Amino acid sequence: IKKQQQDVLGFLEANKIEFEEKDIAANEENRKWMRENVPEDSRPASGNPLPPRLFNDSRYLGDYEAFFEARENNAVYAFLGLTAPPGSKVCVCIAPSKQ
């Protein structure tokens, strides 16, 4: 989990994408907020959803696997719901919504 979190944070920082990090380990309100805002169809069959989970405000974007796939397809800005900076390659991928 820690490696995945560092991967996401490193990407956001390197690309100067503003973000707010919510620590769910030390803050019960953040943990409750995450659990309530991860859609039912994106939760594990048992237990609670594990971080990292990405949101744009309160809109759920997906988990680490969805982020990684978007990054591999040069579609991170579209995944994050952001406008890509000039000169960036943007790819809009349409797939059944499971994240």
Among 25, 7, 21, smallest CA distance to 70 is for 7
Euclidean distance between CA atoms 8 and 71, whole angstroms: 10
pTM of the model: 0.81
Q: What percent of the chain has pLDDT over 90?
A: 66
Q: How many domains does the chain have?
A: 1
Question: CA dist 28 to 3, 22, 42, Å?
Answer: 22, 11, 21
Per residue in 48-79, pLDDT (tens digit) is 889 999 999 989 999 999 999 999 998 999 99
pLDDT the model gives residue 83: 87
Q: Report how far apart the first and last C-alpha atoms of the chain are (Å, whole number).
A: 18
Judge whether residue 27 has pLDDT over 70. yes
List the structure tokens of 48.
Answer: 């609670």
pLDDT value at position 85?
79
- Residue 11 in domain: yes
pLDDT digits (tens, 9 = 90+) for 81-90: 998 877 655 4
DSSP 8-state secondary structure symbol assigned to residue 67: H
- 10 pLDDT higher than 60: yes
Which residues constitute the domain of residue 35? 1-80
**What CATH number does residue 67 fall under?**
3.40.30.10
The verdict on residue 75 lying in a domain is: yes
The pLDDT of residue 88 is 59
